[in-house]
Each structure stands twice: as structure tokens, then as C-alpha cells.
Amino acid sequence: MSTEGWTTVGVVLAMVVVMALNVAGPDMVLAAALTLLLALGVLEPAEALSGFANPALGTIAALFVVAAGIRETGALDFIGRTVLGQPRSVASAQIRLMFPVGLLSGFMNNTPVVAMFVPMLQRWSKQARISVSKLMIPLSYAAILGGTCTLIGTSTNLVVAGLAASRAEPVELGMFDVSVLGVPALLVGVLYIVVASRWLLPARRSVDRDVTDVREYAIAFQVEQGSPVVNETIEACLRSLPKLYLFELEREGQVFPAVSPQTRLKAGDVLRFTGIVVDAAVDLRKMGLVPEESAITGRPDRSWVEAVLAAQSPLIGRTVRDAKFRTQYDAAILAIHRQGERISAKVGDIVLQPGDLLLLEAEPGFAARHRADPSFVLLSPVADSAPPNHSRAPVAIAILVAVVGLNTAGLMPLLTAALLGAGALILTGCLRGHQARRSLDLRVLITIGAALGIGLAVESSGAARYLGDALVQASAPFGPIALLGAVFAATSLLAGVVYTATAAAIMYPIAAAAGAEAGMPGEAAALLVMHAASTAFSSPIGYAANLIVYGPGGYKYSDFIRLGLPLQVLLGVLSVTILWWLWL
């Protein structure tokens, strides 16, 4: 191997060690490694930046926007409420959860799918009286397995597809070419989790970050036309919100102070709550409930802000109505909390006092614009409080189906279809410009772009061919199955300590070189690396989906090893067997 090859191997090994020790984020580590390879002369500037011009990276960015459109319209929440239902056992709950999640993850990047399902699952586990730890890892594993079923299900697949298409002898992979490994893995994985989690996945308590929160408000919400909770019983809708108490319902001008849990909600109903409203903001908005003041203004794009009233504020001593707060600040006061007590009077009649904590509904830039306003001591936006646009959910789902359909039918490349889908979501009002920009995860895009450049260095420096030959020679005495198994094991182990897309970018050139030496088709090598990198179940580090559920599930590191390592071995045997049967 040349000097450049050994230099590349040394940089990659150092990068893996730094990432395994969690010294810095993967985007910083990979960017530093790429810069080092450029400075040492292994890569030319055009080669170093080629990963950022790879169509795979543009496709991932466009799919982030498409996923945001599904999230912001509440389409995923509607799907979850429809299919999850009322399970009778832990196994039933896991099956109800994993198959829909796996299906969705096949057509959306699996990381945002997990992120969107976590709060829904926290509510659902309370309703079903099931330990949330019995559901969070199955959620992550199902999303990962579902992502292996299509080309767009995970960024790892797209990274490998980009590398394969850019080789001297390009390998073009279609939307469902990866399904030959992904679908059997999903079926076997779900069966394994349902059976094995009974013994291998302990019941744990999630980290409750809200135990010290005592900001209670009294607030009224109205049921929107077309809300997902219309015709649902109060018990079914609200029992997952233990920090709220429904003390009154108003329907068509008639007030009901005592409401039966079996009462079915109608559009236009006004529900009056007391309790810790801020913590339930996201849940209430996803149910299609809007604050009564918000319903009056007709401004569904607004989010919530908490503001503490300063002693020198000109609002002090005046009622909310007389102060004309809405006119002066273009914001509505939804509720007021005062010195440890909630105020149940009508908001317009409350006389404002110094230190009052106001729950406001305002446009997204309100907190930044009034940060220096002497009327307020403190301004704090409420995270994820902007309501989903439920009326556009069918449009968002139709656009997602169109993106998949156009590519599957061979009418246009995935990048083109995804960009058109992202544009259509913005033009149809499913997504606003600032939401689309916010959906682009710069850290992930930098990581993938740098990983593609490093993968090119591994190949162009001769390191891939050298390591591939070594892998072939080591496994040759044991036959082609041993070669497949060695590639799978090396890739999956590497994916357990570094970002999975990085592991795939490093291992694919090596696997392709080894496969060519052993007479393996280029498609088989690509599918093997895709699948091996995506099955890092025994570690929460390599895959973002595992990291997302780590805290909410209350897990220990050993929980992933206990349940995930046998699954990793099982799927390795399954993948090697299928590839051997089809191609060798």
C-alpha cells in the first residue's frame, strides 16, 4: 500500500477513536478528518468537496423538508392515533407500534419518524398502562428496520447508493432493490422483539423532567372544525394529560360544569382547564385544540411565549382589556399565573400586577423582538408550541406518495422528485419557509458530506483495495459465506461506535474491492454494507434513533446490548444467507 494509503488508514483510525470516546460531535470530527486528508495531499480540493456535491446529499436535504411537511401538518400524529388503538398486552402494543412505524420509515427518513413518535408514545403508554421502556427501544428498532426496506428510508442507504453510482463501474440502485434484505429483516426483527423483550428488556421509569414545574394556569381551548378529536370521548382524548383538569365545557352557549368522561366532543366546543398547561401544549395542539383567544384571532401560525411582567411596565394596574395588549403587542394573553396561584377569572378582567407570568400567543419572532422591552423581565418561548395545520395533512401525505411514486415508476430521479415534493409542500401551505429552513439539520448534512469525501479517500489512496484483498485472503479458506460474514461483522461493529453513514462510507469501498476480487456483483456489496451499517442495535451511539429514545425510555447502555446484540447477530446470519443464495 502507498504512503497515501497508510496516511488515510491512520486518519480514519484516529477519527474512529475520537468518535468512540465522544470527544466531539461527528460533524466536527469528520470535517476535521477531511481537512487533514486535504492538508496532507491525499485529496485534491475538488475531491474533498465532492461529497457535498453528491446527489445523495441533496436528496437527504430535500427529504428533511418533506418529513417536516408531514410533521407540521400533524399527519403522522393522525396516523398514530388511528392505528395504535387500545392494546390488551405489551406484545399487542409492540405489534401495533412496530409495523406502522416500520412502514412509515420506509418512505420517510427514520430519524424524524422516531422524533415525532416519542411524545405520542409517552402519552399512549400512560393510557395503556405499559412501561414506556417496553416501547421506546422497539420504536427505534422498528424505524431502523423499516428504513432498510427502501432506498430513501435512511440516509445510510442514500450514502452507499451515492458511492456506488460514482464508481468507475457504476451500480444503480432502485427504490425497492434494498427490500430483498430489508423486508425479511423487518419481519424477523419484529417477531424477535415481541418474543425476546419480555425477558431482555426491563421495565424502567423514564426521566421525568417536569417534576419541579408548578406553573399552573387556567385556560380555555376550543375544538377546531376537522380536529382529530371530534366525536372522540373526553376520557379517550384527555386521560393522557394527568397535569390538566377539565372543570368546564361550553357547547352552543350552554355551560356544563360537570362533564361525563363518555361525553363526545363536537367542533366548536370550549374546554376550560386548570393545571400545568405549558407542559401539555404540544399534546393539545396536536389534538386540534386551539386556545379560545387564538380561535378569535384566526392566526393558527402562532406559538406560545411565557413573559414575566416588569415592575415599571406601563401595563401595571390596568386590566388586560383596558391595556389593549393585543393591539399594542400583536399578541394575545391566554392565561396568567401569579405568585404560585392560578387565576381563573376571565383574562380580559384581570388587573395586571408586577411579577405576573403571562402565557402569550404571538408570532414566532416575538421573544427576540421584545427581549430588551422594559415591560418584561423575562421572555421564554415554549418549545414546539406552534400548532400543526391539520387541514393540509391530506395534501402533505399525497405529496409524499407522489414523490415515492414518481421515483418508483422510473419517471424521474429521487433527487428531482424530492426537490419537487419539498417545493410543493411550501407552495401548498403545508410548510412555511422558515420551517423548511429549520428542518435542514446542518450537522447531519456536514457529517454525510464529509463522510463521502473520506470514503473517496479510502478508495483513491489504494487503502480500500489493500484492505479488501486482506479481507478476501483471510476469509478465502472458509468460502464466500465467510467473506460476506466478515464484511457484515466489520461494518456493523464500526457502526456501533461511529455515525452509521460514516461507517458505511468507510466500509463500502473496502467491501466493493473485496467483492470484486471474490467475484461478487457490485449490487450485492452495496446491499450488504447498507444493511450491516443500519443494524447497529447494540449501541445507542451510532444511530440517532437510538439516542432519541435513550432518555425518554429511562434506559441504561446495557439494555441496548442485552436486546440488540442477539438481534444484530440474527440479522447478520439472515442477510448473509439471502445474499449467498441470490448471488454466490
**288 φ/ψ sector (left φ>0, alpha ψ -120 to 50, else beta):** left
- Please give the Cα distance from 290 to 284 (Å, whole number): 8
Q: Which residues contact 321 (CB under 8 A, 6 or more apart)?
A: 348, 349
List beta partners, residue 87.
none
Of the chain, the end-to-end C-alpha distance in Å amounts to 29
Question: Is 544 in contact with 502 (CB distance < 8 Å)?
Answer: no
The domain ranges of the chain are: 3-205+440-583, 302-385
Burial class of residue 89 in the structure, from the number of CB atoms within 10 Å of its CB (0-12 exposed, 13-18 middle, 19+ buried): exposed
Q: Are 153 and 105 in contact (CB under 8 A)?
A: yes
Q: What are phi and psi of 143, to 5 degrees?
A: -65, -40
* Model pTM above 0.75: no
Query: With b meaning 16 or more CB within 10 Å and e meaning fewer, what string describes 331-370?
Result: bbbbbbbeeeebbeeebeebebeeebbbbbbbebebbeeb
74: how many CB neighbours lie within 10 A of its CB?
26
Provide the strand spans (E) within 385-470.
none
Residue 39 one-letter amino acid: A
Q: Say how far apart CA 188 and CA 411 lie, in whole Å.
A: 33
Helix (H, G, I), strand (E, B) or coil at 581: helix
Per residue of the chain (584 residues), what is the pLDDT tens digit?
Answer: 678 888 888 888 887 777 667 677 677 888 898 899 889 888 888 888 888 887 878 887 888 888 788 777 777 666 666 667 677 788 888 898 899 889 888 887 777 677 667 767 876 777 677 888 898 999 999 999 998 998 878 878 888 888 888 776 778 888 888 899 999 999 999 999 999 988 888 887 654 444 344 566 677 788 877 777 788 888 777 765 656 677 778 888 788 877 788 888 888 888 877 766 666 666 676 677 777 665 444 455 667 788 888 888 888 888 888 888 888 888 888 778 776 666 666 777 888 888 888 888 887 778 778 888 888 877 877 766 666 677 788 888 898 888 878 877 778 887 888 899 999 999 998 888 878 887 787 777 887 788 778 877 877 787 766 766 776 677 767 777 888 888 888 888 777 656 677 778 878 888 888 777 777 788 888 899 998 888 878 876 556 677 667 767 878 878 888 899 999 999 999 999 998 888 66
Closest CA to 63 of 139, 161, 137: 161
Q: Report CA 511 to chain centroid distance, whole Å.
A: 30
d(CA 495, CA 544): 12
Instruction: Measure CA 192 to chain center.
Output: 24
Exposure string (b/e) for 239-254, b if CB count within 10 Å is 16 or more? ebbeebebebbbbeee
146's enclosing H/E stretch is: helix 133-147
Spatial contact of 130 and 109, defined as CB atoms under 8 Å apart: no
The domain made up of 302-385 is a member of CATH 3.30.70.1450: yes
42 grid coordinates: 491525499
